[in-house]
Structure 1
């Protein structure tokens, strides 16, 4: 298991899948082990995935100070991984809650980001948050599904704070609810550090105005990908995320939920690989700075 050491001495793990150029991948959850990402629908055919297990998850060690689970405190873990890999700059992909970590990293280390891919990304770092109404509106798109009635009632109770998370509404997170999706969801509880998850978005993690100002100067190309059926973020909120970057593409994957590489792997891989390849070609065609 490849390991490296964070600045505070915590030993962190990363998993390598595939060949070709490296693509560093930050998981969401928040604080879910990177195992849930798999090979991102077959993206390993195009890139060598470097999947980070955030501190306290997967094969990474539990830190001595639990306050370091806060999202902004882990930016230096990402930078330590880059240095460990010997990359002058890197292509970075982040999913869900990992999106805020990637945005904070890009704001602090813009010169280290060559390309950035944000997949159904949480944009709390920009002050953009999914609301209960967002989730209910997205859920309403699934009214024809056989599990809708029970799931919607459970979802509404959870969002109102009247009930705990109920597996009955798990299908809303997926574009299609089948055996693959059910198994993926079933594994999530064991993969997630709930204590760390509670601290990830804790007070002080974000300064949206400062992050927006820094990202407005980011020259790296950015792809923001939303799922058509995802409630967090819905496509309109994801589009506002893309607007924070001067060089961003925005795309919506048809029929996809929060895990688009499961819903239609071919569509997902084709779109992400095309972005990475096109921006690499464009960068190669530009004259070098003198």
Structure 2
């Protein structure tokens, strides 16, 4: 995999899929290797994907100082990747917890971001988050599923803090619009692809210290922003995704029907067509 060096000397890697205009992609997890993004529903037919492995994940190196895993401290890694690729202004996509990193990057380097695509993304950097009540509200939409009863009990335990390891496996269907073989394999790979220690640092104290300042910074962002939510996702609910979009001056919200937290798995063609159409639209 291609690599480059971060400001603190950590060697970082990225994977490239497709050809043409680049789309830099930041994974979530938090701190899950970018491999789980796959080809984002076939997006390499439209763009050259540059899929980052954040520090300490996938093929990237481990920093000497674990404090470097904190989200705000990884903004410099995104900037180092941009410089490594020789891009003046670029398109940026982020999934889930990677949304916070992308938002912080856009706030710090607004002139570098041409478009920002937030896929079922968190926005704690803006002071917006979701609650256990949001989680259970979305889960209640799935009562017709054959796996609902046992999974719902496990899901509730996760959000009231009483879950054990088996509950996370049992509740996994709630994160997917279709609980099929592909979804099962995707969920089964999560533990091995995630740096749990780094994940505990990612959103630790100080990572999102000044949401008001970040909101002020993105309020004048010239980049077009797409906030893509899943109809059945709880993080964020579609209405919370609309709230996030409302904090950007040039934004739109798309809710992908019958989809969960990984919409490119639930309906690859619809996902890739939606993102490609947004990216290709005239400024």
Answer yes or no: same fold by TM over 0.5.
yes
Q: Partners of 2:22 and 2:160 in 1: how far apart?
A: 42
- In the other structure, the counterpart of 1:64 is 64
Q: TM-score, normalised by structure 1?
A: 0.96
| Pair 1:188-2:190 in alignment | yes
- In the other structure, the counterpart of 2:117 is 117
- In the other structure, the counterpart of 2:229 is 226
State the Cα deviation string for residues 113-172 of structure 1 (Å, max 9, x = none).
011100000111111111000000100000010110000000111111111342110000
Of 158, 171, 174, the residue aligned with 2:173 is 171
Of 210, 214, 218, the residue aligned with 2:213 is 210
Of 235, 244, 247, the residue aligned with 1:244 is 247
Q: Partners of 1:232 and 1:249 in 2: how far apart?
A: 18
Partner secondary structure for residue 189 of structure 2: helix
Q: Partners of 1:37 and 1:156 in 2: how far apart?
A: 27
- In the other structure, the counterpart of 2:131 is 131
Q: Partners of 1:200 and 1:235 in 2: how far apart?
A: 25
- In the other structure, the counterpart of 2:279 is 276
Q: Partners of 1:222 and 1:237 in 2: how far apart?
A: 15
Partner secondary structure for residue 217 of structure 1: coil
Q: Partners of 1:104 and 1:187 in 2: how far apart?
A: 28
- In the other structure, the counterpart of 1:286 is none
Task: Say what the alpha-carbon RMSD is for the aligned residues.
Answer: 0.6
- In the other structure, the counterpart of 2:202 is 200
- In the other structure, the counterpart of 2:267 is 264
Partner secondary structure for residue 16 of structure 1: strand
Q: Which structure 1 residue ranges, 4+ long, deviate > 6 Å from structure 2?
A: none
Q: Partners of 1:157 and 1:256 in 2: how far apart?
A: 23
| Pair 1:40-2:40 in alignment | yes
State the Cα deviation string for residues 94-123 of structure 1 (Å, max 9, x = none).
000000000000000000001110000011
Q: Partners of 1:129 and 1:242 in 2: how far apart?
A: 13
Q: Partners of 1:17 and 1:188 in 2: how far apart?
A: 21
Q: Partners of 2:131 and 2:265 in 1: how far apart?
A: 24
Q: Partners of 1:246 and 1:159 in 2: how far apart?
A: 33
Partner secondary structure for residue 20 of structure 1: coil
State the Cα deviation string for residues 63-120 of structure 1 (Å, max 9, x = none).
0000010000000000000000000111000000000000000000000001110000
Q: Partners of 2:179 and 2:54 in 1: how far apart?
A: 28
Unaligned ranges ≥5, structure 1? 284-290
